[in-house]
Every structure is written in C-alpha cells, then in structure tokens.
Structure 1
Amino acid sequence: MSSTASRPATRTRKKKKDELSTDLYEQPGHLIRRAHQIAVSMFHTVLGPDITPVQYGAMRILQDHPDIDQVTLARYCALDNSTTATLAVRLEEKGWIERITPPEDKRVRLLRLSETGASLLESLVPSVHELHKRMMQTLSEDEQETFLALLAKFVHINNEKSRAPLRRGDPD
C-alpha cells in the first residue's frame, strides 16, 4: 500500500524545527486513536468477535488475582467503576466469571473466573501470541523494543491524567 493510500493528501509547507505541526496526521492524539482502532480490529480478526479486548484484559487480571472486588478490578484495568460493573455483568452472563457475595459483607461482590472462563483464556493463548506477532511484525526487533518502551513510558508518565488511572498491586 502506498503512503498516499494510507494517508489522505494534505497541503504541506516546510515548518521550522521548533514549530508544532497542525497536520492531523502528525498529531499524537490522532495517531494514538488510530493505533487503538487498528489494535482492536486486529484483536477481533485474530480472536474473533465473541470477546472484546477489555473483557480479555479483565479476565487476565482475574486469572492472576482471583476473588477481588469490582472496585479493585476497575483499578487494575484502569476502568471507571460503572464500566467495570457493566463488564462484570456481561462476563457473568456469558458464564466466564462468577460474582460471589461473601457472607461477612453483603455489599461486596467478589469476582473470579468460572471454569468456562479459565478454559477460554487457556484456549486463547496461541491466538494472543499470534496477535502480538501480527501487531509487531512490520517493525524490526529494535523498533519493537523501542516502540513498547516508549509506549509504556508515555502511559506511565501520563497515568494520573486519565479519567480512570491504573492502580496496580495490592489495594491496601
């Protein structure tokens, strides 16, 4: 695919070294949004339409941290509480997680993978590896390492600016 097919033609003028571009296709926010669109599309191409990237991420967290509450899951996934509540209902409806009310606190719902959910995650491992390979295959090994390092740095440095900052580790 030529560069004109992947990027709409725009008028360009030579800019000074310290001048920021106003070209939409050079804006970090636009590029990040496009990268997200591409990543989600690739996810569904490889893993199919039955599970979303957010559902997969939540289930991976529950695999590593069984019996956490919805608020903790929200923090670990960097989602707001209402989105996580809806997500938990959908995952339970699909039979992929169980929501348990502990006898000592009827207000809390603890989440864990169901046997079906655990089996599903196990079956997705080869597809997840294939997805990673496809996403990164157009970059050299050095570019892959640099890309992931810069992306992780950007996310880490700007975490607190998010509507739902990521909170990893023990909730206490």
Structure 2
Amino acid sequence: MTAKTLPLPQQVCFALYSANNAMMRLYRPLLQPFDLTYPQYVVMLALWQQDNISLGQLGTTTLFDSGTLTPLVKKLEQKGWLQRVSDASDERVKNVLLTATGKALEVPVAGVMPALRCQVAWPDEQLQTLREQAQQLLIQLQQLETCR
C-alpha cells in the first residue's frame, strides 16, 4: 500500500497558514494609514513595551532573525520613528531607541487592536484559548529544533 498525503483541508499547517494570511489581510487596511506593515507593527509593539533594547533582544522578542529584523529597523529609522545607537558598554552592540515621533505613534496605533477585534466574531475566551494553544505549539516546535 502506498502512503497518501492528507487532503489540503485536513492539513494543520495549511489551516494555520490560511488563518495567518486572512489575519494579515485584516491588519493591512488598519495599518496602512500609519504607513506600517505588519512586521513593522510588531517591531513597534515590542519597542513600545520595552524601549532602548539591543537588536539581539529585539530579535528575541519579535522572533525575527537578523536578516529580517535589520531591514525593518532601517526602514523604521528612515521614517524617523526609531534610531540605532552604539551601546555605551560595548560599541559593537547596537541598541534601538524610539524617537519622540515613534513614541507618539503609539496612541493612534492603539486603535488598531480594537478595530481588528471588532472584525473577529469569536468570544474573548475562545481567542485567549487559541492564543495559548498557538504559544504552546510554538514552544514545542522551538524545542524540536534543538533536538536536531
């Protein structure tokens, strides 16, 4: 007997991929007035939570590798929302700091989440469960990487 793949609708990876794409399509028009892409939004969210962190810490927080993070940070720096400066204790380390303009952007951008939430008709408890399950899956997948 030959092995067959599961049909696409039964693939967990395809369900996650499709849901992610649909979510990004919801975010796009909400972020567009702020001239933000979703990955840039993630970087800004991380910095609004903890400003003046190293690029390495920012990568750990956002889960972006340096090849993805560096162009995002450069673009946000060009927009005047953040700056990279050498760490006082180690000039090889670059810290990322929000500018006054970048800090001020947090207030209007804070409206994105409620606007998005308005479009998702699931109860809060169900969304919380989904988030927790996604986080648990991520942890397990990260642990698998270390087993190789």
TM-score (norm 2): 0.82
Q: Which has the higher helix share?
A: 2
Q: Is the partner of 1:39 in helix, strand or coil? A: helix
Residue of structure 2 aligned with 1:97, choices 70, 79, 82: 82
- Cα shift at 1:77: 0.7
Question: Structure 1 residue 115: deviation in Å?
Answer: 1.1
Residue 15 of structure 1 aligns with which residue? none
| 1:39 equivalent in alignment to 2:23 | yes
2:135 — aligned with what?
A: 152
Q: What's 1:48 paired with?
A: 32
Query: Does the 8 Å contact 2:84/2:94 carry over to 1?
Result: yes
Per-residue CA deviation, residues 38-89 of structure 1 (Å, 9 max, x unaligned), is 1111001222262112111111211222211111111111111121111111
Residues 98 and 146 of structure 1: is their aligned pair in 2 closer, same or farther, counting only changes over 3 Å? same
The CA distance in 2 between the partners of 1:129 and 1:141, in whole Å, is 12
Identity %: 22
Cα distance, 1:21 vs. partner? 6.8
| Number of equivalenced pairs | 142
Q: Distance in 2 between matches of 1:91 and 1:85?
A: 10
Higher RCO structure, 1 or 2 (CA under 8 Å, sep 6+): 1
Query: What is aligned with 2:57?
Result: 72
Structure 2 CA distance, aligned partners of 1:105 and 1:140? 47
Shift of 1:22: 1.1
Question: What residue identity is the alignment partner of 2:44?
Answer: M
Residue from 3, 25, 28 that aligns with 2:9: 25
Q: Secondary structure at the match of 1:51?
A: coil
- Aligned counterpart, 1:81: 66
Q: State whether residues 63 and 112 of structure 1, in contact with CA within 8 Å, keep that contact through their aligned partners in structure 2.
A: no
Distance 1:161 1:38, change over 3 A: farther
Gaps of 5+ in 2: none
One-letter identity of the residue aligned with 1:72: Q
Select the structure of larger CA radius of gyration.
1
Give me the TM-score of the superposition, normalised by structure 1: 0.72
Moved over 6 A (4+): none
Q: Distance in 2 between matches of 1:82 and 1:71?
A: 12
